[in-house]
């Protein structure tokens, strides 16, 4: 599956900046409409280390109302969390009515990292596929919109990004020995990702594979996918797109003025 993905897709920074105001305003309007109508949303990001999950999340949430969403960076379970059923800690984080919840990594750690690193028995990660499908089905049946993204880059691109980060004294701390160890296991993780995508794809919780070599292309695709899905899920409750366009035009003009005055711009 992943070998057929075209990782050469690109978008220029200028084209991304031109599209960004409209995307951000449209997402803001849909966030508010979801809140007003009690429609919950789950957005989760999986992907390779250094594929841009964190920066994509930052761009996504930059103009959202912070009262309407929660962001959870997911790491390995803590000792006390291991005393509960493994999905317990994720049940505690599902969205309230009208709320948007964003996961930077998710319950898919069980069938990726925990599988490849052998931190859980094989039976546990094999059983997890069934648990995940049932978990997501229960959420969807309760009206939750579920969007799942996998940010894909090549092994060569990942190494290039690791090196670039290490060359920056202010950023070098981000690349650890564990990151390089996972990089060496790229092939094992690739097999795990392929099986994950195959066994957990569904009409109510679909995967979107994001070609992430170009961070600008990746971010725009994520925005557009979320917006299209929220519009479809809200149906007639979705606000008119023309209002988002007017607000975006005004915002773009303000950004342009700020840039001309020496401000931070976009």
Q: Look at residue 228 and tell me if it is in a domain.
A: yes
Residue 127 located in a structural domain: yes
Q: Whole-model pTM?
A: 0.91
Q: Is residue 96 part of a domain?
A: yes
CATH for 219: 3.40.50.300
Element (H, E) at 108: none
Q: Which residues contact 95 (CB under 8 A, 6 or more apart)?
A: 40, 41, 42, 70, 101, 144
Number of domains, the chain: 1
Would you say residue 238 lies in a domain? yes
Q: Which pLDDT value is given to residue 259?
A: 64
> Over the chain (266 residues), what is each successive 10-residue block's mean pLDDT?
92 96 97 98 98 96 97 96 97 98 98 97 98 98 98 98 96 95 98 98 97 98 98 96 71 65 55
- Residue 262 counted as domain residue: no
* Domain span holding position 15: 2-253
Q: Look at residue 85 and tell me if it is in a domain.
A: yes
DSSP class per residue in 159-215: HHHHHHHHTSTTTGGGS-HHHHHHHHTHHHHHHHHHHHHHHH--SSS-EEEEE-SSH
């Amino acid at each position: 599956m992943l070998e057929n993905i075209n990782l050469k897709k690109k978008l220029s920074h200028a084209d991304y900046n031109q599209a960004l105001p409209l995307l951000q305003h449209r997402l803001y309007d849909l966030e508010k409409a979801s809140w007003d109508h009690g429609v919950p949303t789950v957005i989760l990001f999986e992907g390779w280390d250094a594929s841009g999950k964190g920066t994509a999340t930052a761009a996504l949430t930059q103009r959202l109302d912070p009262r309407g969403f929660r962001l959870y960076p997911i790491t390995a379970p803590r000792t006390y969390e291991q005393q509960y059923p493994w999905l317990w800690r994720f049940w505690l984080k599902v969205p309230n009515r009208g709320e948007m919840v964003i996961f930077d990594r998710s319950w898919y750690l069980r069938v990726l990292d925990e599988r490849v690193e052998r931190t859980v028995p094989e039976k546990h990660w094999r059983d997890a596929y069934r648990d995940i499908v049932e978990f997501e089905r229960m959420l969807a049946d309760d009206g939750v919109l579920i969007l799942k993204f996998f940010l894909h880059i090549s092994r060569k691109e990942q190494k290039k990004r690791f090196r670039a980060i290490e060359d920056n004294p202010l950023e070098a701390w981000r690349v650890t020995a564990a990151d390089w160890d996972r990089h060496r296991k790229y092939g094992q993780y690739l097999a795990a990702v392929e099986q994950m995508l195959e066994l957990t794809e569904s009409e109510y919780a679909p995967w979107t594979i994001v070609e992430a070599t170009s961070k600008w292309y990746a971010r725009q695709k994520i925005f557009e996918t979320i917006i299209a899905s929220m519009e479809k899920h809200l149906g007639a409750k979705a606000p008119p797109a023309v209002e988002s366009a007017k607000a975006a035009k005004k915002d773009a003009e303000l950004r342009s003025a700020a840039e001309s005055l020496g401000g931070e711009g976009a």
